[in-house]
Structure 1
Amino acid sequence: MSIVIFGLSITSSWGNGHATTYRSLVRGLRARGHDFTFFERNVPWYAENRDLPRPRHGRFELYENLEELKERFTEQVEEADLVIVGSYVPQGIAIGEWVTSTARGVTAFYDIDTPVTLAKLDRGEIDYLSKALIPRYHLYLSFTGGPILKRLEREYRSPMARPLYCSVDPDLYYPEEAEPTWSLGYMGTYSLDRQETLDRLLIEPARRWGEGSFVVAGSKYPESLSWPANVDRIEHLPPSRHRAFYNAQRFTLNVTRADMIRAGYSPSVRLFEAAACATPIISDLWPGLETFFKPGEEILLSRSPEETLRTLREIPEETRRAIGLRACDRVLAEHTAVQRAAELERYACEILNRRRPEPEPTTLGRVAS
């Protein structure tokens, strides 16, 4: 297929989880032989923090505004087999209206924050998607699965809603033999609705266990936050350092945003990256988690500082390693970039088959008069 993607960013992972998702997906698409172009709005905060300024897989274009897109790339949008517009894309509504009225192939909206998007949509606080636009896309690709997919079809009138979860590239994320530096670590941009859980499951355990070593990596944390002395802070980690970061932890923490917990079925890309490195994961609880990893065998759960500390201090090393390796096996079997690309193919083909006209009825055995 020829594919066009309008995404928030692929060149910079600073302050967002979109870049690593798109990088993984396009590598999977390229591995399966597809041709694509990725369009990214040229904005200062990503321009100043580009950790992949020249993506190597496929064609990449920076643009300044919608007018430039229409002037330079209308023909490419018209002729593409599949055109995807992602969540949080600047001028996303206008781009979506242009795409759905211009493209002759399949059009899709890719929502990397589906529960957040729908909550903002209902409050009228969104500028990249409208309720009127959802039915115009042939396909709604969602980072969140489960019941929300039916809601998208019934309540928001999407013709077809399907999950397209994040994924991991096993060529980039894998176990390495290294002596762990930290007892427990966490990677994530600051979010107010995650902070209480981070405080409960990592910061408070660090305060209570002075002999333990902890780390939090991510940008936008307020300067007013007080960190225990045994918690290292890393402002930003480019993806090229993610593998080493996970391999340097005995356990890693997964914290889920409030909207994602309410919706359930919302795995983060960090979850799959850590598992691919065979780093055992301690996670908060959310509906559908068991469909991705088996609790107690492939992932560990925590509700309190006490449970976190019990895991860190009491689980034998052999058991710790076994949990990480089982999670790694699960990810390699179900959540790689190539598998996501194959899922996207199936969805596009399903729509194309729906749109294909029925063959004309044949008249066999007709005798000419």
Structure 2
Amino acid sequence: MKIAFYGSSLVSSYWNGAATYYRGLLRDLAARGHEITFYEPDAFDRQQHRDIDPPHWARSVVYPATDEALAKVLAEARQADVVVKASGVGVFDTELLQGVIRNAAPHAIRIFWDVDAAATLDEMRTAEDHPLREALKQLDLVFTYGGGDPVVDAYEGFGARRCVPIYNALDPATHHPVDPDPRFTADLAFLGNRLPDREARVEEFFLKPAAALPERQFLIGGNGWQWKELPGNVRHLGHVGTAEHNAFNCTPLAVLNVARDSMANIGFSPATRVFEAAGAAACLITDAWEGIELFLKPDEEVLVARDGQDVAEHVRALTPQRAQAIGEAALARVLAEHTYSLRGAQVDAILADEAAQMRSAA
């Protein structure tokens, strides 16, 4: 099928945590024979911070953030068998949503792909005129970054015909064990941009343990933390490109995952970082969230912390030998059960089913 995908960015992870998710899924779908065009606006300096060149498996279209350019790329939706509007593009989100529905060919499968479902649902609950409420009536599918039954029930309660979580996963060609890099030496490292609904949890699960363990080394990567007052034993790196994620995960004794407030409340939504870390055979410490055992087994494949004190205790008790054992067990689990090849097969089957239903109804 020809897939027109309107998202934030395929070629840059700068202020764009969904980049590796898009890459893993769309690369696999391309390998299954789908013809993919990814449309992304030139916005937020993402094009100045590219992680990859335009891939051979997708046509990459970068358009100026202007009304004229928007109309031009939306017109191309008419040529597609599947049109996708992803959440969080950052510019023209409403116009893109309405435009892909308006311009889609009669036979096309129309999809909203939500990479931040908890935040989107919160917005819809508080805004009766939210554009997605009306758009759901005209969409064939909603895919989400995760969320389990709570997200499915919420979306279908708002009128979605069908909502399916497509969870994050591992692309073993991109994220895998590498040699340690001295630049990332630490006892505990955290990678994530500074966002309003994440900051308090980073303070609790990362900065509080750092203050409690002044003799240990802590490392934080991501945009925005340079303006945050940090303990003296916390080193800040700034943006860490995708090409350096493996070394960032492999080098420290352990790495930390912290869910954003909204996702922690929903549960069943492992962040991309969980699978990136497991793919690099890193020892992962994560804040507790509902459903984690469906992805990694606590105490054997991941260490779970209820609060900052738990994080500090995990770091104190962790030896290099145990960290290695946990990381290797996590890698084996995700290779067996949580790869983008498996997720791609899921999406491919759903698209085939939708297309068959539409043909039979015609």
Same fold, TM exceeding 0.5? yes
Q: How does 1:160-239 map to 2 (within 5 A)?
A: 160-178=162-180, 181-221=185-225, 223=227, 225-239=228-242
Once superposed, what is the RMSD of the aligned Cα atoms? 2.3
1:133 to 130, 135, 147: 135
Q: How does 1:50-61 map to 2 (within 5 A)?
A: 50-61=50-61
Aligned residues: 356
Contact 1:12 1:53 in 2 (8 A): no
* 1:249/1:56 CA distance change after superposition, 3 Å: farther
| SS at 2:187 equivalent | strand
Contact 2:188 2:256 in 1 (8 A): yes
Partner AA of 1:98 in structure 2? G
| SS at 2:215 equivalent | coil
Identity among equivalent positions (%) equals 31
1:3 lines up with 2:3 in the alignment: yes
* 1:188/1:72 CA distance change after superposition, 3 Å: closer
| 1:167 Cα offset (Å) | 2.4
| SS at 1:147 equivalent | helix
Q: Distance in 2 between matches of 1:190 and 1:126?
A: 29
Q: Distance in 2 between matches of 1:300 and 1:231?
A: 21
1:272 lines up with 2:294 in the alignment: no
Partner AA of 2:16 in structure 1? N
Using the size of structure 2 for normalisation, the TM-score is 0.91
- Relative to total residues, which structure has the larger helix share, 1 or 2? 2
Contact 1:110 1:140 in 2 (8 A): yes
Contact 1:16 1:189 in 2 (8 A): no
Higher alpha-carbon deviation: 151-160 or 246-255: 151-160
Q: Distance in 1 between matches of 2:77 and 2:171?
A: 28
Q: Distance in 2 between matches of 1:303 and 1:357?
A: 51
Deviation string for 1:128-182 (max 9, x for gaps)? x520001211110011232234324531111110011222210121123438721
Partner AA of 2:268 in structure 1? Y
Partner AA of 1:241 in structure 2? E
1:329 to 324, 328, 332: 332
1:291 to 294, 319, 322: 294
* 1:135/1:329 CA distance change after superposition, 3 Å: farther
Deviation string for 1:197-216 (max 9, x for gaps)? 22222222222223211100
Q: Report the equivalent of 1:362.
A: none
Q: Report the equivalent of 2:92.
A: 91
Q: Distance in 1 between matches of 2:165 and 2:77?
A: 24
* 1:66/1:138 CA distance change after superposition, 3 Å: farther
**Where do 5+ consecutive residues of structure 2 fail to align?**
none
Contact 2:201 2:260 in 1 (8 A): no
Contact 2:29 2:348 in 1 (8 A): no
Contact 1:272 1:331 in 2 (8 A): yes
Looking at CA atoms only, which structure, 1 or 2, has the larger radius of gyration?
1
Deviation string for 1:22-58 (max 9, x for gaps)? 1222222222232110000122522333333533431
Q: Report the equivalent of 1:356.
A: 359
**Where do 5+ consecutive residues of structure 1 fail to align?**
360-369
Higher alpha-carbon deviation: 337-346 or 146-155: 146-155
Q: Report the equivalent of 2:306.
A: 303
Deviation string for 1:319-349 (max 9, x for gaps)? 3222111111121122222222211111112
